Structure 1
Amino acid sequence: RAALIVGPKGSSFPILSKLVKRLPVMALPRWTRNKTHPVALPDVIHALGESVDRDDVKDRAIDIGGPEAMTYKEMILRTADIMGKRQPTIDIPLLTVKLSRLWVTLVSGEPKETVYPLVESMVHEMVADPEKMVPGISDGKITFEQSVRDALKEEEEKKGSSSSSSSTPDALDVRSVQRVLLPKDRDADWAADDYMNWLSSFARPFLSSTMKDQVVGINIPFYEQPLLELTKEPVRDRQMATYRITGGLFAKVEEDSRGRIEFRQIPGTQECIIAIHEFVPALPWILYKVTQANVHLLVMYLFKLHLLRRIHSTEQESTHADEIVPSS
């Protein structure tokens, strides 16, 4: 588990670098004084490699971080210094999360589905837990300054190579992030299974789902081939569950496809991030945007309401139980 990974592409660091590059003045809300624990991408890759075939780290969550934890404000100022920017900063004594989501989306040009959950997560401190750190895996060695220089240099090199290359662009893929609240004592693994079960129940008789050996098929009546086929990965930590997109009419799946739906619970909370990564639709992109993409947003909104109803129902049951007094 990492806080902010510093590297080219990705989501968090490119958004940070765009804010520093494009804003003449940095207005810093209260959440920028919260601490985070940035880690360089090569250190993350090293941690993954060191974890392979290690029996002592199986079935446990491991936190990783760089040499130094710092506030978001410190991270912004250090990035600005490396980029040669000297814009003034203004501390704002308010959280202003909703306003921050809006201006980060506008300035960075990134989709709100990516920006909103990132900004919302920043109200929590994201520092590696010493009890979940493993020597040789968790302790990144690359300084924040060096990781920023490396990331910016690689981005510039890729821009130069792409501008001089005549090859065709990569296929367009879908990345979508939603944030939901889970009922008490429920986790991400439960949410993943509940979502699959709920899909067929809410849209019956137009949709149905089948599960066999951790493979879920989402079907329509009178048609054998599923719209989507999803294969659940083995669960090692119940705070995270992943369904790989492995087939179906609506998905373009090849040998090296990495499309997936991830359910990640924010540690210490009942909040869960549901994210689609690297899904390549079979429909033409324009057609996908006006049809399947909007249907997905509607489905996720309805699932969020479904979870809220379950939370409300659980709270009512708990209140009712408290009101029952045993007779003498």
Structure 2
Amino acid sequence: MKVTQRSSREGFTLVELLVVIAIIGVLVGLLLPAVQSARSAARRMQCSNNLKQLGLAIHNYHDTMNAIAPLRDRDDTIFPSDWNTQIISWRARILPYMEQQPLYDQVDFELPQWWAGSRRPNTNWTIAPVVVSAFRCPSDGGNGNVNWTDPTGVRRRGHPTSASYATTNYFACTGPDAELRWNGTGLGFFDGIRHQNATRRGTTRNFASITDGLSNTIALSEGIIGHPRINANPTARAGGNYTAQATTYTQTDNLCSGGPSTSSTNARGNSWLRGYSSNDLSFNTLMTPNSNLWDCHRNSNWAMYGARSQHSGGVLVGVGDGSVRFMAETVNYATYRALGGSFDGEVAKFD
């Protein structure tokens, strides 16, 4: 009798293969959001650590100098007739307290970031491209540098006609006020300008002047590099009073109007070293976090820049006591505005 043997089957049927593919697809669909969420949380944690490092550096600077680092400073004794020649940002002053002493030693505080016209050679442009990781939030991707070309095409002393400079995501709080002030009159944690001049010496602020309390005052927050919602030529409202404080969202909106800036030099966070204008220096609490309102500035002393981030739902802020808080986009406007003031008597608490 002939015996037939059944051949053993190898591989999958089409139906089984489709089932496996479907299961893998479901797993990927379930895991991918979790992975993205974990990465986002890790970036936010690093951003928080950066702000803590900056806050600690500000405190260590204060312990050494008995003063808060000036928002920007210049030495009038070098070129007293030229207001714009020597303006370096607050970040450069705290470099030694961030384990960046070698970089600090290369900063020439008697000269500006870029050039000094026909004056002595300036080498600050050689350190301007140096990326300081603590000045960058990993959630705001992209290159840590932007390129700049001198529109005049003229090679100035010690400065090339084009250069690269390192960007920053972290900005100093100047309070619920559109004007950058000095001599201790600014309402924010940081004051305007420290002048090194026998006849015009700016007042440096210390922690004792923060009468609203360090734990009730915002010192730092985030900004998005090159944020497009910047209007460099605002139309002033409120009777032309550029120092007017807004008390409502509508009044804030009315302070500025117009379209976005087309100038790369006005882009947000272009340089951690430069201290000339608000787009590189500071923010105020005239608009709530991640606001749809325009960022704008009239000149180097008047601006309205909000705190912005790539984090979902709000921004991280560095508090005067060195702690870091998450500030939601839905924060009460009056509370947020008050938290930006340091000695105005409007004491508000973080939730």
* TM-score computed with the length of structure 2 as normaliser: 0.25
**Between structures 1 and 2, the one with greater strand share:** 1
Higher relative contact order (CA 8 A, sep 6+): 2
* TM-score computed with the length of structure 1 as normaliser: 0.26
Q: State which structure, 1 or 2, has the greater radius of gyration over its C-alpha atoms.
A: 2
